[in-house]
Amino acid sequence: MLDEQLPPSDLEKLARDVLGQPPTAALPCNLSDEWLALIARDLDACMGEMSTDDHCEPSDQMAAPLALVIHLLQGKANGQEEFIAFDDFEKYLNDYKIEIQLELVNRKTNLAIQPACLHDIFEGREVRVEISCKKPMPRAKKDSADNWDSFLQLNDKKNAELNLENCRDEGRARQDPFEGWLDEGGKLKNEGGL
């Protein structure tokens, strides 16, 4: 997925750029594009999802992500000494990998994803997603039994927020609010001249 030509993560540079800053600097939303790409690559490699070059072991690429996770955990503990079970590090690395990937999606697509903060990272947080689009999506059918109600808010005429709520009513099957959005050619229908 990521450019194989990225240089190895330099721990000394990481210490200067991120680890020497407050713990919030290690949040994915605060990493530079360069560090975000490097850490995403390192996490993929150390977790066995991509092959590394011949002279680099996957464990060599675990140091930078692990340092960032530890920096965040220290911040969450407010500088107090805390003991972390060795087995928990895998969970924290997996969570951090997901947060890194969410931030990449946030930066490279029309989805605006609420970033983790120091308080909720590694806490099984709920993620809020906003959809940025040029035209609003068609509305769900009104007054329909067991409907999905959708609410669309336009922000600055470019961004839209979509919240879906599934309302079940006495076991009746729901009606899909997205039904009828596409024409026979698979393209979004133009409703209301938008």
Statement to judge: residues 57 and 132 lie in one domain: no
pLDDT 10s digits, 173-190: 444 545 555 666 666 665
Domain boundaries, position 194: 128-194
Rounded to the nearest integer, the mean pLDDT of the chain is 75
Is 87 part of any domain? yes
Give me 55's structure tokens: 């002279």
189: which residues sit within 8 A by CB, 6+ positions away?
138, 180, 181, 182, 183
Q: Comparing C-alpha atoms, which of 43, 49, 79 is closest to residue 63? A: 43
Residue at 78 is within a domain: yes
pTM, full prediction? 0.63
Same domain, 101 and 17: yes
Torsion of CA 4, 10, 16, 17, to 10 degrees: 10
Contact call for residues 72 and 18 (beta carbons, < 8 A): no
84 and 158, same structural domain?
A: no
How would residue 61 be classed by pLDDT, with cut points 50, 70 and 90? confident
Are residues 64 and 148 part of one domain? no
Question: Are residues 99 and 135 both part of a single domain?
Answer: no
Q: How many domains does the chain have?
A: 2
